[in-house]
Chains A and B, each alone.
Chain A
Amino acid sequence: MKVHEYQAKALLSQYGIPIPRGRVASSTGEAREIAAEIGSKAVVKAQVYAGGRGKAGGIKIVNSPEEAEKAASQLIGTKLVTRQTGAEGVLVSKVLVEEASDVAQELYLSILIDGTSRLPLMMASKAGGMEIEEVAQSTPERIFRCEIDPAIGFQPFQGRKLAYGMNLDGGQVGEATRLMTNLYKLFVKKDCSLAEINPLGVTAEGKLLALDAKLNFDDNALYRQKDIQELQDKEQEEPLEVQARDWGINNYVKTDGDIGCMVNGAGLAMAVNDLIQYCGGRAANFLDIGTLNNPERVVNSFKMFVADPRIKAVLVNIFGGMARVDVIARGIVEAYQQLDIRLPVVVRLAGTNLEEGQRILAESRISFIQAKDFYDGAHKVVQAAEGARQ
């Protein structure tokens, strides 16, 4: 789960990490007031879940409360298109108005879970303000790493190693070590999957300051992080994905094609979308119905397809394991009874309780296109979508 920059900074501040003076504003008037309180040069920053805001015009430097109001009016209510958002962009509802700090140097600091060592990994670099992947590619020697043993936590010597790696000196080393220790505490206490301060500024006076912050949280741990869960901003998410979740379909991702897919299992669902493309079509979504044996979830999947005007044809591909084919079949029949389904629907069924599922579909006399295997299903749905497009 993602949160906004202003929320991430509030959490950093709670854990003793210095952030610039400022607050979030939902209106242009508020932005003006905050800039007046700051009383000096300020930054107005669009609050969206996507990165790449600077280059997209989502961050503006202002010299007066009037300019802050104007900058806010150019951002609030508009859609910001960055390299991470896609062409339609994301809505800006809030801006963060902060004191513009006099920065002598920009550093990079982050913690993530390293898949190879299976430990939290703290990374620091002098090359702040850049994408860390680019730094890793071009100048890997500028990145310093420390694996953190969860049994003993982050140690001061590790902080010194990273701080000296970033060429900090004197009192800054101690300050940086405290900051890193606090960031690790936050990472663990709040079940982060990523905590990134980029850039970590060094002010003209030599003080450290988190100029931008990104926190991602482990979805699996949200059950024990209720306060984090409450920070979720549904406006920032794809409406179809929010709708799916409201209907109990947690594993739904919108993609850019016109074939609706309902599959059980994440790997199979990805493979179905790949196979559709191989056959010359494009899937409109990734949808893993999971293993809960509940026909209603099948009905709700069909509701998603009917509500999505892009969709020209539907593929149901089920390999029953924990999910039983007869339950899925019953769900399909219920969907036809409850909804006005005029889309061509291709059904491929295999696995647990297949015969019973086939019997239910045959007796219902609903009209669907039967597929004999995985390839046949993808091939037929691509043809059906082509037919429907004409």
Chain B
Amino acid sequence: MSILVDENTRLLVQGITGSEGSFHTQRCIEYGTRVVAGVTPGKGGSQHLAVPVFNSVEKAVSETGANASLMFVPPAFAADGILEAVEAGIPLLVCITDGIPVLDMVKVHRYLRDKSTRLIGPNCPGVVSPGKCKAGIMVGEIHLPGNVGVVSRSGTLTYDVVSQLTSLGIGQSTCVGIGGDVLPGSTFVDILELFEADPDTEAVVLIGEIGGTMEQEAAAFISREMTKPVIAFVAGSTAPPGKRMGHAGAIITGTAGKASEKIKALAQAGATIAPNPAEVALTTRNVLETL
């Protein structure tokens, strides 16, 4: 098993005809993902990359039975795209878009409260269950099927960690990029819950970073609920306070936002902390050997 996406995922791509949408849809198809539909308003009825294109998510879902959406809609229109997918009843929505205004996301989150859609992202690399399905922009080849779950706020740092794992022969059940925004759709806790319940995940690698309190919330969850080992790294120990480090959410505004505070909380909760970002896989191997 795995979480969120697998061989039964029927993926729909919002913004399939744009340049990023096209490029990554092609890569997903090559990886083996079943891409069943695309949505671009005004291009309904056409085909793109041999995938049928629809004018609306609702139509795409009813015609193709899509059960997940991957979104490449520009920031100014992204909130609308998310709401459309939620209204169409999509169970899983992965939003890649970087740069969505925070107040747009406030409305989206309020609307999502009593809906069944799970949102991953925005500003994230997506989700991959190695060997089964890739719904995202990550490099497919670096992954290896296996039993370690990966959850991260970062994109390329996750690629590095995943390739470290793969080079040591440690495969992954699912890798989830929850994104670098201030208000992510799914938090560390949301994903840890899924990994805890997944019989094929033995351990979880968590990659956090400065800003916000998501790592502290994860720590509380780990000490309260997790039976599986967690290996953690938090990026930004050397980041100056008050500066936005690329990601909208990566800014130290109070004490809790510092890497040292997050590392302390995670260590106290029983997570094993990697000494540096290049030794996350080695640390993971050491933990797995004790199981």
**B158 cross-chain contacts in A, Cβ below 8 A:** 267
The answer for the CA separation of A286 and B245 in the assembled complex, in Å, is 7
Taking a contact as CB atoms closer than 8 A, the residue among B76, B99, B163, B237 that contacts A350 in the complex is: B163
- Whether A271 contacts B157 in the complex (CB less than 8 A), given A115-B183, A375-B278, comes out as yes
* In the complex, chain B residues whose CB is within 8 Å of the CB of A352: 139
Instruction: Select the stretch in B47-55, B57-65, B196-204, B205-213 that faces chain A.
Output: B205-213
User: Is B247 a contact partner of A266 (Cβ separation < 8 A)?
Assistant: yes
Q: Is the interface of A mostly helix, strand, loop or mixed?
A: mixed
Structural contact, A115 and B182, CB atoms closer than 8 A: yes
Given the complex of chains A and B, what is the CA–CA distance between A118 and B217 in angstroms? 14
> How many residues belonging to A are interface residues under a CB distance threshold of 8 Å?
55
Which B residue's beta carbon lies closest to that of A117?
B109
- Closest chain-A Cβ to B115's Cβ sits at a distance in Å of 14
Q: Is the CB of B235 within 8 A of A270?
A: yes
Within 8 A of A (CB), among B148-197: 152-160, 163-164, 180, 182-183
In the complex, what distance in Å separates the CA atom of A267 from the CA atom of B279? Answer: 15
| Stretch binding the partner chain, chosen from A25-33, A204-212, A214-222, A326-334 | A214-222
**Would B101 and A266 count as touching, CB distance under 8 A?**
no
Question: Does B102 belong to the interface (CB within 8 Å)?
Answer: yes
Interface code B260-291, partner A: CB below 8 Å = 1, 0 otherwise? 00000000000000011111000000000000
> Chain A contacts of B163 at CB under 8 A?
319, 350
Contact A253 B243 (CB under 8 A): yes
Which of A274, A351, A373 lies at the interface centre, i.e. has the most chain B CB atoms within 10 A of its CB? A274
Query: Does A149 sit within 8 A of B, measured CB to CB?
Result: yes
Q: Mark A332-350, 1 if CB is under 8 A from B, else 0.
A: 0000000000000000001
Cβ–Cβ contact B139 & A351, under 8 A: yes
Are A351 and B159 in contact, with the CB atoms below 8 A? Answer: yes
CA distance A319 to B20 in the complex (A): 18
- For A119, give the chain B residue with the smallest CB separation: B106
Given A267-B247, A319-B156: A150 and B107 within 8 A (CB)?
yes
A223 at interface, CB cutoff 8 A:
yes
Chain B residues lying within 8 Å of A149, measured Cβ to Cβ, are 110
Give chain B nearest CB distance to A132 CB in angstroms.
9
B window 83-125: CB within 8 A of A: 99-107, 109-110, 125
Task: Say which one of B34-42, B224-232, B248-256 lies at the interface with A.
Answer: B248-256
B156-A267 in contact (CB<8A): yes
B244 at the interface (CB under 8 A from A): yes
Judging by beta carbons under 8 Å apart, are B254 and A133 in contact? yes
* Contact present for B99 and A220 (CB under 8 Å): yes
A-B contacts at CB below 8 angstroms, number:
174
How far, in Å, is A229 (CB) from chain B's closest CB? 13
A273 touches B106 (CB 8 A): no
Once A221-B102, A321-B155, A322-B137 are accepted as A-B contacts, the answer to whether A271 and B217 lie under 8 Å apart by CB is: no
Chain A 16-49 against B: per-residue CB contact (8 Å), 1 yes, 0 no? 0000000000000000000000000000000000
Cβ contact within 8 Å between A267 and B180: yes
Q: Are A191 and B103 in contact (CB under 8 A)?
A: yes
Q: Report whether A265 and B154 are in contact in the complex, using a CB–CB cutoff of 8 Å.
A: yes
- Min C-beta distance of B82 to chain A, whole Å: 13
| B99 partner residues in chain A, CB cutoff 8 A | 220
The reply on B8 being an interface residue by CB < 8 A is: no
Distance, CA A282 to CA B240, complexed state (A): 13
Complex Cα spacing A120 to B142, Å: 40
Contact B278 A264 (CB under 8 A): no
A268 touches B157 (CB 8 A): yes
Q: Mark A236-279, 1 if CB is under 8 A from B, else 0.
A: 00000000000000010101100000011111111111111110
Contacts of B153 in A (CB 8 A): 267
Instruction: Knowing A113-B182, A266-B180, A267-B207, say if A224 contacts B247 (CB, 8 Å).
Output: no
Please tell me if the beta carbons of A274 and B246 are within 8 angstroms of each other in the complex: no
The reply to whether the CB of B75 lies closer than 8 angstroms to some CB of chain A is: yes
Contact of B242 with A266 in the complex, beta carbons under 8 Å: no
Complex interface: chain B residues within 8 A of A322 (CB): 20, 137
Residues of A within 8 A of B238 (CB): 255, 270, 273-274, 276-277, 282-283
Q: Does B214 make an interface contact (CB < 8 A)?
A: yes
Residues of A close to B157: CB separation below 8 A: 265, 267-268, 270-271
B236 and A375: CB pair below 8 A?
A: no
Report yes or no: A267 in contact with B109, Cβ–Cβ below 8 A. Answer: no
Whether A274 lies near B247 (C-beta < 8 A) is no
Question: Which residue from chain B places its CB closest to the CB of A221 in the assembled complex?
Answer: B101
When distances are taken between beta carbons in the complex, the residues of chain B under 8 Å from A172 are none
Most buried by B among A150, A255, A264: A150
User: Is residue B239 contacting chain A, with contact meaning CB distance below 8 A?
Assistant: yes
B246–A286 touching, CB < 8 Å: yes
Which residues of chain B come closer than 8 Å to A278, judged between CB atoms? Answer: 275-276
With an 8 A cutoff between CB atoms, is B138 at the interface?
Answer: yes
Residues of B within 8 A of A193 (CB): 102, 182
Closest to A222 in B: B101
User: Which residues does chain A contribute within 8 Å of B160, judged by CB atoms?
Assistant: 268, 271, 319, 350, 374
Contact A273 B239 (CB under 8 A): yes
Interface string of A112-147 (1 = CB under 8 A from B): 010110111000000000000100000000000000
Residues of B within 8 A of A286 (CB): 239, 243, 245-246
A151 in the interface, Cβ–Cβ < 8 Å? yes
Give Cα A383 to B199, complex, Å. Answer: 46
Decide yes or no whether A98 CB sits under 8 A from chain B: no
Closest partner residue, chain B, to A151 (CB atom) = B110
Say if the beta carbon of A366 comes within 8 Å of chain B: no
A367 and B76 alpha carbons, distance in the complex (Å): 44
8 interchain pairs, CB-CB under 8 A: A120-B106, A149-B110, A191-B101, A220-B248, A267-B180, A270-B246, A319-B160, A375-B279
**Given known contacts A191-B103, A275-B276, A275-B277, what 5 new A-B pairs fall within 8 Å (CB)?**
A150-B103, A220-B101, A271-B157, A286-B243, A322-B137
Question: Which 4 interchain pairs have the tightest Cβ spacing?
Answer: A267-B154, A266-B246, A265-B156, A267-B157
